[in-house]
Amino acid sequence: MSELRFDDVSVRYGSRRRAMTAVDRVSLTVPDGAVVGLVGESGSGKSTLARAAVGLTPLSGGRILLDGEPIRHGSGPRPVQMVFQDPYSSLDPRMTIGESIAEAVPRGTGSADRRREVSRLLELVELDPARAGAHPGQLSGGQRQRVALARALAARPAVVVADEITSALDVSIQGTVLNLVRRLQRELGTSMLFISHNLAVVRYVASEIAVMYLGRIVEHGPAEQVLADPQHPYTRDLLAAVPDSAHARSARSAADPTPAAVAAAEPADPHAPPPGCRYHPRCPVGPLVHPEREVCRTTEPTADHRHATACHFAPAPEPLAGRTT
Ligand SMILES: Nc1ncnc2c1ncn2[C@@H]1O[C@H](COP(=O)(O)OP(=O)(O)OP(=O)(O)O)[C@@H](O)[C@H]1O
């Protein structure tokens, strides 16, 4: 069992006047064996949450639990491994890829076993073990990202956090890396927090989707339900931005026409999040368009159901056929 749980987690940067809360009271569970996709625009706090999970960023509040226990980020193998957007940040360009992967194999493994493990991991990520002597600079971006995945898996992690791992790749390569993630997840059953600003990428691998806006989770539920029946106006806007898909078309028809006041709205300032619902200054169902909906300016909506939406004016979600809630 490997369940990662963020329990009321906050992360603040800076001090006093320039302080900003990048992650604000986030509760989110990555169930055992599930891939939770975390989406949201740049600056919403996704990377901060990821870095907190691997101990790179200290918490200002709340707890992060692995199988119910606080994670220990001391020496020794890290139970939560992270793969970054730029594999150069995790791969030393002076080391061969075999050495980089071997370094992450748990201590106490003999050298012959370590070599075998490196070959096994390279095969697992669909790279030729004969290339173990190559340096990262000799590989393509997609191949480097495969090595970064192999290195993360070498530590036999309970959970992998993947932060924008396809964002720097050519579109043609993104699909092969996503296929690999899907296959690895199916074969190894590793729990995963998969982060991307791109909903089209997340929906390809995730069993659940959580949507983040200005440090808060505004919608979370089973992937197919969030995609087919998005409840939060921000999720609908994200979906409408996905090029040519059935989901985008339905999201667009729900949101269209974009009211002029919404189109002209300024992006939010993360240093001064709006009171009430954080999305209200940009929201097509909020007080910009419906002045009587004062509650959006004054009261923060909460989300606490299985397909949960933090919006005062979200319709009740349709039950999924064949599922019990
Ligand atoms: N080390 C830091 N010091 C101060 N502020 C930071 C730091 N790291 C991030 N921030 C701020 O915290 C907020 C959230 O950033 P974060 O990188 O977590 O968001 P994100 O959703 O991952 O966006 P991106 O995809 O652009 O990285 C942003 O406003 C950012 O400017």
Per-residue confidence in pLDDT tens, the chain, 325 aa: 699 999 999 999 998 778 899 999 999 999 999 999 999 999 999 999 999 999 999 999 999 999 999 988 777 778 999 999 987 777 899 999 999 999 999 888 888 999 999 999 999 999 999 999 999 999 999 999 999 999 999 999 999 999 999 998 988 899 999 999 999 989 999 999 999 999 999 999 999 999 999 999 999 999 999 999 999 999 999 998 887 666 666 665 555 556 777 777 777 888 889 999 999 999 999 999 999 999 999 999 987 666 788 999 887 655 544 433 3
Domains of the chain: 4-206 (3.40.50.300), 233-309 (no CATH)
What is residue 306's predicted lDDT score, i.e. its pLDDT? Answer: 67
CA of 46 to the centre of ligand 1 (A): 8
Residues lining ligand 1, Cβ inside 6 A: 13-14, 22, 40, 42-48, 197, 270
Count CB atoms within 10 A of the CB of residue 233: 26
Q: What is the pTM of this model?
A: 0.90
Nearest CA to ligand 1 atom 9: 48
Nearest CA to ligand 1 atom 11: 22
Nearest CA to ligand 1 atom 6: 13
What is residue 257's predicted lDDT score, i.e. its pLDDT? Answer: 57
> Which of 6, 13, 214, 216 for mutating ligand 1's site (highest number of atoms within 8 Å of CB)?
13
CA of 107 to the centre of ligand 1 (A): 34
What ranges in the chain are assigned the alpha helix state H? 46-53, 97-104, 111-124, 141-154, 171-188, 199-205, 223-228, 233-240, 246-255, 260-263, 295-298
Cα distances (angstroms) measured from residue 72 to each of 77, 78, 79: 10, 8, 9
> Which of 6, 38, 48 for mutating ligand 1's site (highest number of atoms within 8 Å of CB)?
48
CA of 278 to the centre of ligand 1 (A): 17
Nearest CA to ligand 1 atom 4: 13
CA of 62 to the centre of ligand 1 (A): 19
* Torsion angles phi and psi, residue 54, rounded to 5: -100, 10
Nearest CA to ligand 1 atom 29: 43
What span, in angstroms and rounded, lies between the C-alpha atoms of 151 and 68?
26
What is residue 80's predicted lDDT score, i.e. its pLDDT? Answer: 95
What is residue 324's predicted lDDT score, i.e. its pLDDT? Answer: 38
Q: Check: CB of residue 48 under 8 Å from CB of residue 22.
A: yes
What is residue 128's predicted lDDT score, i.e. its pLDDT? Answer: 96
